[in-house]
Copies of this chain bind each other. A is one copy, B any other.
Amino acid sequence: MRKLAIIGIGQTPVGEHWDQSIREIAGEAVFAAMNDARRETVDGIFIGNMLSGTLVRQEQLGSLISDWVGLKSVEAFKVEAACGSGAAALRLAIMAVGSGEMGCAIAMGVEKMTETKGVETTAALATAADADYEAFQGLSFVAINALIMKRYLHEFGWKHTDFAPFSMNAHANAIHNPFARLQEAITEQDYQRARMIASPINLLDASPIGDGAAALVIVPADQIPALTHPAVLISGSAAATDTLAVHDRKDLVSLAAARKSALIAYAQAGVSPQDIDFFELHDAFSIMSALSLEACGFAERGHGPRLGLEGEIRPDGRIPIATRGGLKARGHPVGATGIYQIVEACQQLRGEAGGTQIEDARIGMAQNIGGSGATIITHILTIH
């Protein structure tokens, strides 16, 4: 397949956007990305979104958003893979431009989640799990992750406190990201005293939801226009699935689809974990940080928390993660998160990451997870 590049990025702050409808939030990100790419038109739009049908009673976002941003009549679809919807939209844009069906495409994600009551949002998020065998039994999304974390603590002998560095790093980095929802530091004591949600997961293990949108402009790498910033090459892109219900997995504490998609992406990019300068992983819960680092070859099985305890995940460490706040502190507008990760990786590669800029960042990785590991999409980006 031909090589592709990201020439424009855009995002809205993650927060509670009471004054904006879903189309307005989406439009803000699309306009920012098109301005950044200096494009006035594109051939199509792929929209990652999980919950618009249930939470804002609006489907067919393709037509809604393309019309709203003045791109009426272009091809546009919504794609859904739970919290992995954002990177799924990027996968489709890659196929669209890679196949020649489109010369230029927008991959974006948008979610509006804060207008509904918490119990409705929790129920809607549970549709990411197996409805017949998990959600129907009353198992919420956080409860599934709690089962996984409990098993992990039991199997490898870590204490809950050992996960504190994941959350502390994310919050420390978010202070330097004006688009982050929680721009405030937390201490180890804050982490230890946080309110319990579903044992052993407490409030500071969990990422906050939010409203937000992020967008990318994709073109073939041989058609990069003159820009005031470097273009970012998509060197690896792969998706894999696992069983939806976690009870069907042979191993509860490893992410098979993360491993598979990362191995394909490494091979495509011709790199190995040692070459990766930073890793925007899917820290919806702190346990997912450990599992992602292990599945992608940055830590041995059961050793993920060690990277946090040794400071290796910080911007000056061996494998910086959540460099702009991650899901934990930038926030998790579920269908948009996968595109936020790519926007942030582009900021690092373009040297625009401000106070958390990784020195000499040349190769970045982003990984977006749908459900509790059921759909996992890995991208490797390099600077042009």
Contact = CB atoms under 8 A, between A and B. Distances in A.
A17 interface: no
B66 A241 contact: yes
Contact of A242 (B73, B124, B126): B73
Contacts of A79: 77-80, 92
Contacts of A96: 95, 99
A251 interface: no
Interface string A73-103: 1111111111000001001101110111100
A197 to B, nearest CB: 22
B243 A60 contact: no
A239 B62 CA distance: 11
A375 B74 CA distance: 9
Nearest to A58: B131
A347 interface: no
Interface in A1-15: 1
B371 A241 contact: no
A131 B56 contact: yes
Given A60-B371, A77-B80, A101-B94, A53 B242 contact: no
Interface string A94-115: 1110111100000000000000
A241 B67 contact: yes
Contacts of A375: 60, 62-63, 76-77
B72 A243 contact: yes
A128 interface: yes
A64 B130 contact: yes
A40 interface: no
Q: Could you say which of A53, A61, A67 has the most chain B C-beta atoms within 10 Å of its C-beta?
A: A53
B92 A99 contact: no
Interface string A129-164: 011100100000000000000000000000000000
Nearest to A52: B127
A256 B82 contact: no
A360 interface: no
B60 A99 contact: no
A63 B370 contact: yes
Interface string A28-63: 000000000000000000000011111011111111
Given A57-B127, A98-B100, A99-B99, A63 B374 contact: yes
Contacts of A241: 62-63, 66-67, 72-76
Nearest to A61: B80
A240 interface: yes
Given A128-B59, A132-B21, A260-B73, A67 B100 contact: no
A60 B231 CA distance: 32
A54 B54 contact: yes
Given A73-B260, A77-B80, A63 B244 contact: yes
A126 B60 CA distance: 11
A257 interface: yes
Contacts of A82: 59-60
A76 B91 CA distance: 11
A19 interface: no
Given A54-B54, A79-B77, A99-B99, A67 B248 contact: yes
Interface of A: 1, 21, 23, 50-54, 56-64, 66-67, 72-82, 88, 91-92, 94-96, 98-101, 123-124, 126-128, 130-132, 135, 238-244, 248, 256-257, 260, 370-371, 374-375
| Shortest Cβ-Cβ A-B pairs, 5 listed | A99-B99, A98-B99, A63-B374, A58-B131, A95-B95
